[in-house]
Structure 1
Amino acid sequence: MIRIAIANQKGGVGKTTTAINIGTALAASGWRVLLIDFDPQGNCSTGLGIHQNERGASSYEVLRGDSTLVDAAIPTKVPRLDLVPATVDLSGAEIELIDFEHRTHRLDAAINAAPPGRWDVCLIDCPPSLGLLTINALVAARLLLVPLQCEFFALEGLSQLLTTFERIRSRFNPGLSILGVALTMYDKRNRLSEQVAQDVRACLGDVVFETVIPRNVRLSEAPSHGLPALIYDHRCSGSEAYIALARELIGRLPAPAKAA
């Protein structure tokens, strides 16, 4: 199973929107997808229409070892897309994990214990921080996808994330690599968006995906309806961009991808 952490310690950059819509696009392409909501806010769960009273075992129980991924995973409205939901209990996990053995490898162990072949790819929607939850996700992942907002402080935040990435790779997970950087919330009417995009490409080169995700009101509306934008309005510019991004992403995945 291919494991992709979607991370950026800065909030409001489109991590959850990216996780939901990339997961949907992969599932629509025939992949069996597991999406792990690893953010205590639970926005990924809400955005897929999973209400609080429908969340039984969650990523919190998985992290503690009280539930397996198979038991916690629930089907969504999207065929072939399963979700491990998050609850507010996850907010206390970082303090609780201090007393746990191998506290940085809890999620990795849970994914390792999943039956081989149950899912083709696992996406982990990380919280907007570089705390123990995100470290668990980066230790468990094999690939890192970074949504990056086209705004002034983007590069500063990216440098912090890349520093953490290098530390995780050197200390815990030498197999971790960067799948790509996805530019989000691009406003073609704003010169700053274009300048940030140029700066990021100049700095990182081919690591940056060609596809740019625009600012789009339909992307913002979709979560309130409990639907991915690709289902809510598949013809809007945001959905079309995520479909294109998914094609690029699939092209970068290791081969043989679906047998991994």
Structure 2
Amino acid sequence: MLTIAIASLSGGQGKTTASLMLGRLLSRQGYPTLLIDADPQHNLTTYLDLELQTNQPTLLEFLKKSVSAENSIYPSEGNENLFLIPADDQLDTIQDYLSNSGVGATLLKRRLEPIANTFKVCIIDAPPQRSQICLTVLGAADSLIIPAEASVKGYGSLVRTLDLLRTLQDIGATDAQVMGVLPFRDRWIGNTQTHESRAAVDGMRDEVGEALILPSIRESERYKQAINRRSTLSDLGYPELEYPFAVLIDKISKLAKAKKKKTKS
């Protein structure tokens, strides 16, 4: 299983949008895909229309190992290859548990090991804060996708996220490498990119290099429509807006094959 964290250390950077769109497209292409909602705001769980009862297990119980992994995983309605470990408001209470466990940064990785052969891809929607939950998400990841708004705020979020990743790499808490930076809400007027968006994306390019800058998600209400209708952009008649995710799926396919080959050898 290839584990991908979608992380950015500010709110409103497109993490949940990217997680949901990518998960839906991967599942439709035949990849058994596990989504993990690791954000206490639990927007991913809400967007997948999962209404949890008070006694139903979530990521909180999965991390504490108070239930089996299978009991924490829920199928996504209408997507036979898409599954979810959900979150709710109680996820915030895991912070002290992770901090006091002594293995907080590697705990999620360990919990995922028993189900590693069940799924081809695992996508984790990380919280937008430098928290214990974020640390364990990055610790579990093989690769990192960083959505960043095409703005000054987005550029700052990218820099902070890279700084955290490098810190964890330096102490051996994660082996994750950046798969790509996904500019989000890239603003264009007609065929002209706005000055702010262009300056922000240029700054991102300076930080990570041209090869890691993915095609932008342009500012469009179509993404919100696809989420609200529980559909894909292609289903709505806008396949061109899925291009950034098509590029990502190609990268994911190659990484998944390389990991499988490495595991066999």
Task: Give the TM-score normalised by structure 1.
Answer: 0.89
Contact 2:143 2:177 in 1 (8 A): yes
Q: Report the CA distance shift for 1:258/1:46 in structure 2 as closer, same or farther (over 3 A).
A: farther
Shift of 1:18: 0.1
Q: Counterpart of 1:113 in 2: which secondary structure?
A: helix
Match of 1:109?
110
Letter in 2 for 1:212: S
Deviates further, 149-158 or 1-10: 149-158
Q: How many residues align?
A: 257
**Following TM superposition, by how much is the alpha carbon of 1:54 offset from its aligned partner in structure 2, in angstroms?**
9.1
Q: Is the 8 A contact 1:145 1:179 kept in 2?
A: yes
Structure 2 segments unaligned to the other structure (5+ residues): none
Contact 2:7–2:125 (8 Å) recurs in 1: yes
SS in 1 for 2:45: helix
CA shift, 1:257, in A, is 5.4
- Corresponding residue for 1:167? 167
Which of 233, 237, 242 is equivalent to 2:236? Answer: 233
Note if contact 2:181-2:214 (Cα within 8 Å) is conserved in structure 1: no
3-state secondary structure, aligned to 2:53: helix
- Residue 84 of structure 2 is matched in structure 1 by 83
CA RMSD of aligned residues (A): 2.3
SS in 1 for 2:175: coil
Q: Percent same amino acid at aligned positions?
A: 24
CA shift for structure 1 position 28: 1.4
Aligned equivalent of 1:246: 248
TM-score, with structure 2 as normaliser: 0.87
Q: Which moved more, 1:215-224 or 1:10-19?
A: 215-224
Q: 1:220 aligned to 2:224? A: yes
The 3 A distance-change label for structure 1 pair 231 and 78 is: farther
**Which runs of structure 2 are paired with 1:29-40 in the superposition (5 Å)?**
29-40=29-40
Q: Match of 1:171, as an amino acid?
A: I
Equivalent residue letter for 1:255: K
CA 1:203–1:55: 2 relative to 1, 3 Å? farther
**Corresponding residue of 1:211:** 215
SS state of the match for residue 23, structure 1? Answer: helix
Task: Tell me which of 195, 198, 201 is aligned to 1:197.
Answer: 201
Verify the 8 A CA contact 1:94 1:133 in the aligned structure 2. yes
Give deviations 1:92-148, integer Å, cap 9, x for gaps: 21133333342222211101122x421001111001111100000011111111001
> Which segments of 5 or more consecutive residues in structure 1 lack a partner in the other structure?
none
Check whether the contact 1:20–1:228 (CA below 8 A) recurs between aligned residues. Answer: no
> After TM superposition, which residue ranges in structure 1, 4 or more long, deviate above 4 angstroms?
257-260
